[in-house]
């Protein structure tokens, strides 16, 4: 499939250059996947807004890419425009906000392309508690807000105050966190992501509210989380947890109990260190998205046969997929 012909000189005029047929594998943590028909990296929010509105006006489907740490892009790639979000402004308020005199928690503002781990580290250094769980989380603030990312019993929803979201019509609104319908690793925004490209919502920025605390305790908790992650998760390219945990159990436990650690399809392997992580040990060029899907299907089938549990992917499949590679 191809998108309608578009005049790329228009975004050039507001400072955004668009390239064609750009390989996306380097922009994902799994290092697999095909090209974007059109691709633009955007570092300023006003350019992001203009680009999305322009794409909408010329009916060019778009897709937002953050750190690419939770998306499996098909080998055929994506039609339309992939927007790589590099908007990275952060502001941590020194003083309590005068609008909320009863509440002394400072605001932490971050644009959608900010590294979530980098933001968490800055808040830890500022003596603020609430994001210690995220000090080594891959990906961006935008991806974390969409996915309700979380770890060690905490998640984005616990400290997010609101998010500045541009909707599919190009209108911008500050959406309070309680309107984002957060649940385990999902949100209203995630359900609206057009995984084959389209006109979905865009997280421009997020406001967190974090409490001041004991700097030494905050730093120690962050360090424990970092240490725990280093010891429990593989370092090879991956997409983190492949499946969401089924109610009352762990996907990794079931996969390990089924004897699937080390199982391999093509260049993709079930990690021996953490069975819910699928790894690409050979890195770029040595595996395909089809390998990942085939391994997911093998693991789903065997776990269902052995334990009667249907594992649901946490990773999002994006782009054009041949019949038979569609996952539920």
Ligand X SMILES: Cc1cc2nc3c(=O)[nH]c(=O)nc-3n(C[C@H](O)[C@H](O)[C@H](O)COP(=O)(O)OP(=O)(O)OC[C@H]3O[C@@H](n4cnc5c(N)ncnc54)[C@H](O)[C@@H]3O)c2cc1C
Give the residues across from 198 on adjacent strands.
62
Contact 79, 1 (CB under 8 A): yes
Tell me, yes or no, if 174 is annotated catalytic. no
Tell me, yes or no, if 241 is annotated catalytic. yes
Among positions 167-196, residues that touch ligand X (CB under 6 A) are: 185, 193
Q: What's the start-to-end Cα distance of the chain, in Å?
A: 23
Contact 105, 91 (CB under 8 A): no
Q: Does 151 bind ligand X (CB under 6 A)?
A: yes
Structure tokens at 98: 């005068």
Give the residues across from 84 on adjacent strands.
41, 65
Tell me, yes or no, if 185 is annotated catalytic. yes
Burial class (CB within 10 angstroms; exposed 0-12, middle 13-18, buried 19+) of 326: exposed
Whichever of 62 and 107 has its CB closer to ligand X, that residue is 62
Q: Which stretch binds ligand X (CB under 6 A): 63-71, 174-182, 209-217, 261-269?
A: 63-71
Choose which of 34, 35, 61, 67 interacts with ligand X (CB under 6 A): 67
Choose which of 11, 35, 66, 77 interacts with ligand X (CB under 6 A): 66
- 3-state DSSP assignment of residue 294: helix
Whichever of 144 and 268 has its CB closer to ligand X, that residue is 144
Q: Does 202 bind ligand X (CB under 6 A)?
A: yes
Q: Does 137 bind ligand X (CB under 6 A)?
A: yes
Choose which of 42, 81, 146, 177 interacts with ligand X (CB under 6 A): 146
Reduced to 3 DSSP states, what percent helix, strand and coil does the chain have, rounded to the nearest 5? 30, 25, 45
Catalytic residue chosen out of the listed positions 111, 185, 187, 271: 185
Q: Does 65 bind ligand X (CB under 6 A)?
A: yes
Choose which of 35, 77, 80, 138 interacts with ligand X (CB under 6 A): 138
Among positions 236-275, residues that touch ligand X (CB under 6 A) are: 238-240
Structure tokens at 328: 């539920």
DSSP-derived letter for residue 105 is: P
Q: Which stretch binds ligand X (CB under 6 A): 95-103, 132-140, 214-222, 290-298?
A: 132-140
Tell me the DSSP string of 28-55. Answer: SSS----EEEEEEEE-SHHHHHHHHHHH
Whichever of 40 and 144 has its CB closer to ligand X, that residue is 144
**Residue 19: CB minimum distance to ligand X, A:** 18
Give the residues across from 255 on adjacent strands.
none
Residues near ligand X (CB under 6 A)? 29, 63-71, 85, 112, 137-140, 142-144, 146-147, 149-151, 185, 193, 201-203, 233, 238-240, 316
Q: List active site positions.
A: 185, 241, 314
């Amino acid at each position: 499939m191809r998108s309608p012909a578009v005049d790329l000189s228009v975004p050039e005029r507001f400072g955004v250059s668009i390239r064609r047929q750009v390989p996306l594998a380097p922009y994902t943590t799994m290092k697999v996947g095909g090209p974007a028909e059109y691709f633009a990296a955007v570092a300023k929010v006003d350019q992001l807004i203009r680009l999305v509105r322009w794409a909408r006006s010329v009916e060019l489907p778009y897709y937002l890419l953050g750190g690419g740490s939770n998306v499996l892009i098909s080998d055929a790639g994506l039609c339309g425009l992939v927007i790589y979000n590099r908007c990275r402004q952060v502001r941590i308020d020194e003083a309590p906000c005068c609008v909320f005199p009863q509440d002394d928690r400072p605001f932490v503002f971050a644009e959608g392309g900010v590294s979530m781990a980098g933001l968490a580290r800055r808040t830890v250094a500022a003596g603020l508690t609430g994001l210690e769980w995220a000090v080594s989380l891959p990906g961006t603030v935008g991806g974390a807000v969409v996915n309700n990312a979380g770890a060690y019993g905490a998640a984005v929803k616990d400290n997010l105050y609101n998010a500045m979201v541009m909707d599919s019509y190009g209108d911008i609104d500050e959406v309070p966190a309680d309107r984002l319908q957060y649940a385990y690793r999902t949100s209203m925004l995630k359900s609206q992501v057009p995984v084959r490209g389209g006109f979905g919502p865009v997280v421009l920025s997020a406001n967190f509210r974090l409490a001041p605390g004991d700097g030494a305790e905050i730093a120690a908790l962050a360090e424990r989380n970092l240490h725990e992650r280093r010891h429990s998760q593989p370092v090879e390219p991956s997409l983190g947890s492949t499946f969401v945990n089924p109610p009352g159990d762990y996907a990794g436990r079931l996969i390990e109990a089924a004897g699937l650690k080390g199982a391999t399809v093509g260049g993709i392997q079930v990690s021996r260190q953490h069975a819910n992580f699928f790894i690409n040990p050979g890195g770029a060029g040595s595996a395909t998205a089809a390998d990942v899907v085939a391994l997911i299907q093998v693991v789903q089938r065997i776990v269902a046969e052995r334990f009667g549990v249907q594992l649901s992917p946490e990773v999002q499949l994006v782009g054009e997929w041949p019949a038979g590679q569609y996952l539920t």
